[in-house]
Chain A
Amino acid sequence: MTTQATEVRRRTDLFHTLCPSVVSGIVLGAAAAVVFGFIAHLLAGEDNPDAPVAAAYTAWVIFFFIGIGAFNGIFKWGFGRREPTHEEEMALAGKDQGLWRYFRFTTDHKVVGMQYLATVLVMFFIGSMGAFMIRLEQSRPGAIFFNPQTYNTIVGMHGIIMIVTTIVMVSGPFGNFILPIMIGARDMAFPRLNALSYWLLFTVIPMFISTLLFAGFPTGWTGYAPLSVQELTPGMDAYCFTIIVFGLSVTVAAINIVTTVITMRTKGMTWGRLPVMVWGVLLSVILGLTAFPSFIIAQTLVLMDRIFQTSFFIAAYGGNNWLYEHLFWFMGHPEVYVIAIPALAVAAEVATVFTRKPVYGYKLLIGGLIGIAVLSVLVWGHHLYLSGSENALDGPFMLDTELISIPTGVFFLALIGTLWRGRIWVTVPMLFVCAVLVNFVIGGVTGIYLADLPTDELLHGGMFVTAHFHFTLVGAGVFAFFSGFYYWFPKMVGKRLNTGLGQLHFWLFEIGFVGTFLSLFYAGLQGEPRWSANIAPPFATANLIASLFAILIAASVFVAVYNVIITLARGEKAETNEWGARTLEWTIPTPVPLENFGEELPVVTSLPYNYEPEPVAAAESPSAPASGSAGTPLQPQSGD
């Protein structure tokens, strides 16, 4: 509901509503893509189909941002006559614009967080549809529904969409909406960069999906050269541009989040009092900042080979695919920890709330997360054990990789210890946390088989690998995302999701997930290779069982969608502190005011995990802002 101010407001006309907004961005971007693509086609000639596609994508991104007004602020900064007024800043933050602010270049971190959340959910949906198509095709031997080209593209699209989505699933929605409030700030350090990071992600989506117009791409999510350089179809260029632009989005977001956490913590919020969730997101984006440049360069080199006929990856001219593999996996391994670390941190955060006790070994847990982050940069060679490259380094890489199991074990200690002797309130978020523990131990343990050279020899490139990374990235990552989703939904949206439907979503998902991927572990042990458009008969039964269980996962997706829709339509209003938690976001009203806190920023005196004694009903009134009630970590405002 928009606030109806008492004075009469001039109704903005349709043009000023649509421009600048996502509408003007899309229109301008699409038009520029066509124009520049055509010009490039004229200049490059018939035998270079990649140049017009590349020109079109570049123009799409640049002109989309012109159209959505992203450059207006920069231009004014340099050439304007004065600094922006407070009203202008507030307008840019979406003040008094109602729901339309979600469709503009809005700087309010809460708007960006909601934009990310909606986009993440949509991308999960699309990615899962890809997964179900894969399971459908793999349910029987032979290529039944899709020809191999389509199948390979579906596999690649499922992979990239899910990787992109899982990378941003925690840092995007919750890192943007919740994190600044958790540290007691009014917004992020760079609000305009915040909007930029989201809209960069947005521009990626049509680019990536356009690969279907160009006959897809044959390489799967890893984009290995020289297959990616073969002059088959321009669909591969969509992949390269997706990665480059997405990499820019992650870099911008990382710079923003790191700067925010370093410089904008409120008084008393020392590093030792930072909620676990903030540490998780912080470490994740630092890791992303370190890993992504290598990925961006790899795709740039691929594009150069494709468009400008260079030879980075063509053996006959001195290029080598090992270069791609090293550049890719130098990113690829830290990247899975970019996904996992914030998810595990969310699980720990949620666990404290529903056990009503502090994190078991906060310093140890944070040390563990830091250990995982640091080690993860040093282990990429374990993807290259059987590549033939640098065989002498296989042993050291095995050492490093197995070492990661130590800080990972610390995470389990922390969570088990948090549950132990707690008052466990089994809500829907808590159910998902329990599943994280179960799935992650299976996923983590199976990783050892792949880290160990003698067993990797049997398993590399087979379905065992696929099942392992699904157990970790989905079983721990996505399940932790949902735990955070059900947990923070009442604060972000102000409504209460249906508990029964939430439980149904959970059980369908967990049972379906475990059934599907345990079957695929079995298939991998039997020797089934990855990327099988055509299932060989020995693996047929395992795949059929996996596909049947996947139906449960599909059902769970629709249950969740239904839950969200009916809650948005007619859900119950949530309480200000729906769960009785102690972090700062639960001390402010719902819906969260534009500048988060009242006149005074909160002053923090301890970690937000002290549950004794329980707060009084005062916490539920929306008009009780930053004044601390007993038991919260805030300094009492007026004599307690």
Chain B
Amino acid sequence: MSTSVSEHIYELEPHVKVARARAGVLLFIFSDALSVLAILAAGGYLSALNTEGAFMGKGDHPPAFLPTLGVAILLVLSGICYYLWERRERQSADSAPRVVYILAWALMLVTLAGQLWISITTKFATIDAYASVIIMLNWYSVFHYALAAIIGLLLLGRVLQGRRAGHDYVVEAIGYWWYYTVIASLLMWIFGMLL
């Protein structure tokens, strides 16, 4: 409820907008990273405890290597595309070719599809603790790719409409999330292989 007679439009200063975008996404990354660490720690701990010798059964193995490698490659390519697009875009807004961004996003979609397929088709005879950890790693990656795809879709909307000027910090912030998704998912993949 305003008591002032005339209304002013109070704009945040540009450096504050940049700072807040950075702080927001980095804090979000911090929180998500801790959750990934929690899962990795859970897997490592259960493996070390090997309760009743039942952590891993005879038929247990990680998901087939080649499909997961394929997904990892697509993921990294998506990150590289985003990076190339972002670098050009931050030099001057709306200058980078849209197709590079669209490619980055499309690659993320294919990564998501691939990971979904892997997660659905990885089956275990009994779902012991080892299988549980693999299942969790698989589906958490699905979750991360889906989140990146949704965020990317929103950015795609803006990119297609050319509404980019003055919003460099958005590209930068989403970039951080994008690269984090790549790194965290690679980490989960490697951990699953080594478990």
With A189-B24, A301-B42 as contacts: A81 and B4 at CB distance below 8 Å: no
Return A186 CB to nearest CB of chain B, in Å.
6
- By a CB distance below 8 angstroms, the chain B residues around A310 are 127, 131-132, 135-136
8 A Cβ contacts from B18-33 to A: 19-20, 23-24, 27-28, 30-32
Asked whether B54 is an interface residue with its Cβ less than 8 Å from the other chain, the reply is yes
Asked whether B45 is an interface residue with its Cβ less than 8 Å from the other chain, the reply is yes
Asked whether B91 is an interface residue with its Cβ less than 8 Å from the other chain, the reply is no
With A86-B9, A318-B46, A318-B52 as contacts: A311 and B127 at CB distance below 8 Å: yes
Encode contact with A along B1-19: 1 for CB under 8 Å, 0 otherwise.
Answer: 1111001111010001001
8 A Cβ contacts from A292-326 to B: 292-294, 296-298, 300-301, 304-305, 308-312, 315-320, 322-323, 326
- By a CB distance below 8 angstroms, the chain A residues around B10 are 186, 595
The segment from B64-72, B98-106, B154-162 that touches chain A is B154-162
Asked whether B51 is an interface residue with its Cβ less than 8 Å from the other chain, the reply is yes
Asked whether B113 is an interface residue with its Cβ less than 8 Å from the other chain, the reply is no
Asked whether A598 is an interface residue with its Cβ less than 8 Å from the other chain, the reply is yes
A-B contacts at CB below 8 angstroms, number: 156
Asked whether A589 is an interface residue with its Cβ less than 8 Å from the other chain, the reply is yes
- Given the complex of chains A and B, what is the CA–CA distance between A189 and B173 in angstroms? 15
* Contact, CB under 8 Å: B20 / A320: no
Asked whether A270 is an interface residue with its Cβ less than 8 Å from the other chain, the reply is no
Q: How many residues of A contact B (CB 8 A)?
A: 62
Other-chain contact of A296, B2, B35, B54 (Cβ < 8 Å)? B35
* Contact, CB under 8 Å: A304 / B136: yes
Asked whether B126 is an interface residue with its Cβ less than 8 Å from the other chain, the reply is yes
Return A597 CB to nearest CB of chain B, in Å.
9
- Given the complex of chains A and B, what is the CA–CA distance between A599 and B32 in angstroms? 39
* Contact, CB under 8 Å: A77 / B154: yes
- By a CB distance below 8 angstroms, the chain A residues around B2 are 3, 95, 593-595
* Contact, CB under 8 Å: A294 / B3: no
Asked whether A459 is an interface residue with its Cβ less than 8 Å from the other chain, the reply is no
Return B113 CB to nearest CB of chain A, in Å.
21
For A186, give the chain B residue with the smallest CB separation.
B10
Return A313 CB to nearest CB of chain B, in Å.
9
- By a CB distance below 8 angstroms, the chain A residues around B46 are 312, 318-320, 323
Q: 16 other contacts beyond A74-B154, A594-B1, with CB at 8 A cut-off?
A: A78-B157, A189-B20, A254-B31, A255-B27, A255-B28, A256-B24, A258-B23, A290-B34, A300-B136, A301-B42, A305-B132, A312-B46, A326-B45, A327-B42, A591-B3, A595-B10
* Interface CB pairs A-B, < 8 A, 26: A3-B1, A78-B156, A79-B154, A79-B157, A86-B9, A186-B10, A255-B31, A256-B24, A258-B27, A259-B24, A293-B37, A298-B38, A304-B136, A310-B131, A311-B131, A312-B42, A316-B54, A318-B51, A318-B52, A319-B46, A320-B129, A323-B49, A593-B2, A593-B4, A594-B2, A598-B4
Pairs of residues from A and B, 8 with the lowest C-beta to C-beta distance, nearest first? A78-B154, A318-B129, A78-B157, A310-B132, A318-B55, A293-B35, A318-B54, A293-B34
List residues of chain A with CB under 8 Å of any chain B CB.
1-3, 74, 77-79, 81-83, 86, 90, 95-96, 186, 189-190, 193, 251, 254-256, 258-259, 262-264, 289-290, 292-294, 296-298, 300-301, 304-305, 308-312, 315-320, 322-323, 326-327, 589, 591, 593-595, 598-599, 622
List residues of chain B with CB under 8 Å of any chain A CB.
1-4, 7-10, 12, 16, 19-20, 23-24, 27-28, 30-32, 34-35, 37-39, 42, 45-46, 49-56, 126-133, 135-136, 153-158, 161, 163
